[in-house]
């Protein structure tokens, strides 16, 4: 009989349980995606040329575990908010407490196990799809990576089983120790705000000071060096908490005092809703702001490295393709390059010198890179006079013009008559420059491969004397970091939005009676929906803004690694806004479906 009552309760709340289950599936999938990287030491070692990469990932795993723990706590709160009244009714109908305790334990663990199993399956699928897309974009196979990785599966199951068993014991103990009347009326128990004025002021000042110290540590990383990251981490986390715990509370109180603003429509109710459980929201908003900053920072750095690699390759050569004695078919294939600038030179190699015709060089001076900074270079032209007086730098820059070059030869520019009198084979060198190297990567790769094959180049020992080779070598070094940045950033973004969504939905069951009361006194459903949109909008907007500020300062940490860490920052911001907006819309829709009585709304 008890099991029938329990199953009946679940069926009556199937939609709410579907929300809970889907949220837990997302959590499991994201955790697996991260562990597929963090537990794969071979992949990290071969694709992350950074000392201590394993330590960095284990630190990230601990951070994600803490965040997941917070997520599970809110999901568990959501579960209990739906069921505690039903459990209290069962006890009042004569059910034994130990039987109810067993029911709670089994229900919590079974939901957790099923969600974890489905989450791992979804996580494997997402990992494979995301990895394939990113690898195609990065032009680099990731050695040692696998979408299905058994240690990641086992660690995900172990972690979530432990969490759900602990949650089940917690639910069981909480229900059996809580008086029945308190269970029945838990949704009517407010969380009063009691805070002394002096402590409120101290928190505001503390938030400003701590955030200033953290931002300064990131800006002046050369001064703080190894101390910068732990100092910034501690001060920014504490400062963020104080910011929400003081500023958010103060802002709501200030708005409630503005009568012209607060008394319009049902804004006073909306503001009261925000302040009703403000202490609970303080912690989650702080976590979301920090998590958003980490996610957005990871994606930004991944995009930054992706943009830096072609610039670094351009510092090696200003020619996108250099063909040596190309056949007619290869020339025809090269004509497929879009908007390419083509220049041809004749060349003879005699001893340690390589000769070019002065009329050709005069018409089209050689283009060589001049490095101006980290990953930055300008184009320098070399005419006949500059080449003949060169101190050796031109020889290095023009070495890619020599077929199958394994040693540097001195370039010389001579007249057509002298060139004709020189003994040796006349080579034809054809160069191509395109507006976007990455966009035409596949065609360039095919041309370079055909040229290497025709000239019997030993590609197993790459020479950094061409743009394509430089791109391949640098991309091989940094593509792993790009992949990790994109992959983990997207996972963190999804996790933070899911966590915030569940925190808000966990209070929906408690708010249902208040919205029902407003409907009964005649408040239009449209006004209630507007109030919900505004309330949830504030809870999404505030951590987003704080996270953006954290990211803008945090990118200062990468000035020593990247020419411009802020380049193309609009891309991760756009990704975040779209994903965040989707979660916001989903949260509003689910919240409205829980708290607004459809029968009264239809009247």
Would you state the pLDDT for residue 115? Answer: 84
Range in 31-35, 187-191, 380-384 with the lowest mean pLDDT: 187-191
Would you state the pLDDT for residue 16? Answer: 61
Determine phi and psi for 365, rounding to 5 degrees.
-55, 150
What average pLDDT score do residues 386-414 get?
A: 77
Range in 6-15, 85-94, 366-375 with the lowest mean pLDDT: 6-15
pLDDT greater at residue 420 or residue 7:
420
Would you state the pLDDT for residue 432? Answer: 92
What average pLDDT score do residues 142-159 get?
A: 82
**Residue 408 pLDDT > 80, yes or no?**
no
Residue written as token pair 């239009």: 524
Distances (CA, A) of 484 to 34, 45, 117, 479, 492: 9, 13, 24, 9, 12
Would you state the pLDDT for residue 114? Answer: 85
Cβ partners under 8 Å of residue 277, min gap 6: 191, 507
Would you state the pLDDT for residue 142? Answer: 62
Interval 305-339: pLDDT, tens:
777 788 888 888 888 999 999 998 999 998 888 88
Beta strands in 196-352 (DSSP E): 321-324, 341-350
Q: How confident is the model at residue 173 (pLDDT cuts 50, 70, 90)?
A: confident
What average pLDDT score do residues 375-381 get?
A: 74
pLDDT greater at residue 536 or residue 405:
536
Output the 3-class SS for 464-482.
CCCHHHHHHHHHHHHHHHH
Angle between helices 197-219 and 228-242 (to 10 degrees): 150
Distances (CA, A) of 194 to 275, 278, 535, 544: 12, 11, 22, 27
Buried b / exposed e across 478-489, counting CB within 10 Å, b at 16+?
bbbbbbbbbbbb
Interval 48-94: pLDDT, tens:
555 445 656 666 667 677 777 776 776 666 666 666 666 666 666 66
Contacts from 362-369 at CB under 8 Å and sequence distance 24+?
A: 366/394, 366/397, 366/398, 367/318, 367/319, 367/433, 368/318, 368/393, 368/394, 368/397, 368/398, 369/314, 369/315, 369/316, 369/317, 369/318, 369/397
For residue 312, what are its two tokens?
């670094």
Alpha-carbon gap, residue 135 to 479, rounded angstroms: 8
Distance of CA 157 to the CA centre of its chain: 24
**Residue 494 pLDDT > 80, yes or no?**
no
Q: How confident is the model at residue 460 (pLDDT cuts 50, 70, 90)?
A: low
For residue 524, what are its two tokens?
């239009």
pLDDT greater at residue 103 or residue 198:
198
Q: How confident is the model at residue 406 (pLDDT cuts 50, 70, 90)?
A: low
For residue 264, what are its two tokens?
């319009």
Range in 210-214, 218-222, 393-397, 452-456 with the lowest mean pLDDT: 393-397
Residue written as token pair 């997207």: 490
Angle between helices 267-276 and 278-314 (to 10 degrees): 90
Interval 464-475: pLDDT, tens:
678 888 888 777
Alpha-carbon gap, residue 350 to 559, rounded angstroms: 46
What average pLDDT score do residues 168-196 get?
A: 62
Closest by CA to 5, choosing from 68, 127, 95, is: 95
Beta bridge partners of 379: 369
Mean pLDDT of the chain: 78
Beta bridge partners of 449: none
Range in 62-76, 359-373, 448-462 with the lowest mean pLDDT: 62-76
Would you state the pLDDT for residue 182? Answer: 56
Alpha-carbon gap, residue 43 to 99, rounded angstroms: 49
**Pairing mode, if any, of strands 410-414 and 353-357?**
parallel
Alpha-carbon gap, residue 125 to 148, rounded angstroms: 9
Range in 128-132, 212-216, 240-244, 458-462 with the lowest mean pLDDT: 458-462
Output the 3-class SS for 18-63.
HHHHHHHHHHHHHHHHHHHHHCCHHHHHHHCCCCCHHHHHHHHHHH
Cβ partners under 8 Å of residue 105, min gap 6: 168, 169, 171, 172
* pTM of the full structure: 0.71
Interval 94-123: pLDDT, tens:
667 677 777 777 777 887 888 889 989 988
Alpha-carbon gap, residue 33 to 152, rounded angstroms: 8
Q: How many CB atoms lie within 10 A of CB 15?
A: 11
What average pLDDT score do residues 226-248 get?
A: 84
What average pLDDT score do residues 203-214 get?
A: 89
H-run or E-run covering 113: helix 97-138
With beta carbons less than 8 A apart as the criterion, state whether 488 and 495 touch. no
Please tell me the total number of residues recorded for the chain in this structure: 603
């Amino acid at each position: 009989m008890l099991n029938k009552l329990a199953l009946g309760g679940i069926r009556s709340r199937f939609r709410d349980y579907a929300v809970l289950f889907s949220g837990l599936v997302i959590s499991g999938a994201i955790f697996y995606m991260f562990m597929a990287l963090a537990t794969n030491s071979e992949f990290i070692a071969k694709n992350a040329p950074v000392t201590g990469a394993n330590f960095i990932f284990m630190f990230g795993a601990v951070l994600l575990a803490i965040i997941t723990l917070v997520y599970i706590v809110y999901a568990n709160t959501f579960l209990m908010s739906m069921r505690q009244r039903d459990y209290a009714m069962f006890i009042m109908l004569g059910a034994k407490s130990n039987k109810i305790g067993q029911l709670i334990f089994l229900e919590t663990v079974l939901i957790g196990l099923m969600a974890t199993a489905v989450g791992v399956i979804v996580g494997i699928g997402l990992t494979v799809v995301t990895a394939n897309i990113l690898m195609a974009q990065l032009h680099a196979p990731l050695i040692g990576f696998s979408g299905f990785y058994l240690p990641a599966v086992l660690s995900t199951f172990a972690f979530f089983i432990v969490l759900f068993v602990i949650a089940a014991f917690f639910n069981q103990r909480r229900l059996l120790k809580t008086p029945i009347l308190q269970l029945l009326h838990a949704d009517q128990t407010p969380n009063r705000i009691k805070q002394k004025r002096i402590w409120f002021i101290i928190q505001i000042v503390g938030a400003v000071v701590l955030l200033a110290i953290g931002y300064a540590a990131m800006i002046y990383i050369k001064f703080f060096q190894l101390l910068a990251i732990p100092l910034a981490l501690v001060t920014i986390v504490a400062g963020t908490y104080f910011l929400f715990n003081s500023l958010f509370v103060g802002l709501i109180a200030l708005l409630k005092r503005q009568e012209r603003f607060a008394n319009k429509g049902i804004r006073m109710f909306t503001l009261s809703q925000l302040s009703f459980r403000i202490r609970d929201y303080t912690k989650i908003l702080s976590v979301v702001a920090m998590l958003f900053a980490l996610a957005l920072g990871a994606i930004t750095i991944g995009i930054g490295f992706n943009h830096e690699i072609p610039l670094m390759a351009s510092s090696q050569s200003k020619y996108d393709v250099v063909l040596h004695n190309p056949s007619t078919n290869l020339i025809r294939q090269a004509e497929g390059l879009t908007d390419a600038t083509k220049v041809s030179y004749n060349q003879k190699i005699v001893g340690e010198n390589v000769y070019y015709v002065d009329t050709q060089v005069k018409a089209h001076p050689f283009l060589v890179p001049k490095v101006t900074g980290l990953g930055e270079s300008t184009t320098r032209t070399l005419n006949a006079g500059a080449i003949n007086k060169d101190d050796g730098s031109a020889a290095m820059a023009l070495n890619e013009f020599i077929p199958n070059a394994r040693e540097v030869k001195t370039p010389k520019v001579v007249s057509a008559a002298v060139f004709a009198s020189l003994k040796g084979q006349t080579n034809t060198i054809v160069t191509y420059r395109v507006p976007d190297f990455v966009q035409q990567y596949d065609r360039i790769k095919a041309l370079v491969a055909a040229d290497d094959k025709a000239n019997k180049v030993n590609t197993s020992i790459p020479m950094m004397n061409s743009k394509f080779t430089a791109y391949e070598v640098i991309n091989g070094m940094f593509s792993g970091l790009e992949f990790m940045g994109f992959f983990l950033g997207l996972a963190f973004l999804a996790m933070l939005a899911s966590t915030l969504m569940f925190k808000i939905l966990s209070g929906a069951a408690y708010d249902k009676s208040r919205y029902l009361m407003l409907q009964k006194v005649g408040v239009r459903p449209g006004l209630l929906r507007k109030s919900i949109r505004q309330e949830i909008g504030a809870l999404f907007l505030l951590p987003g803004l704080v996270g953006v500020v954290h990211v803008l300062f945090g990118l200062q940490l990468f000035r020593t690694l990247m020419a411009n860490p802020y380049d193309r920052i609009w891309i991760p911001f756009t990704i975040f806004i779209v994903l965040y907006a989707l979660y916001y819309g989903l949260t509003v829709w689910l919240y409205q479906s829980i708290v607004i009585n459809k029968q009264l709304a239809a009247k």
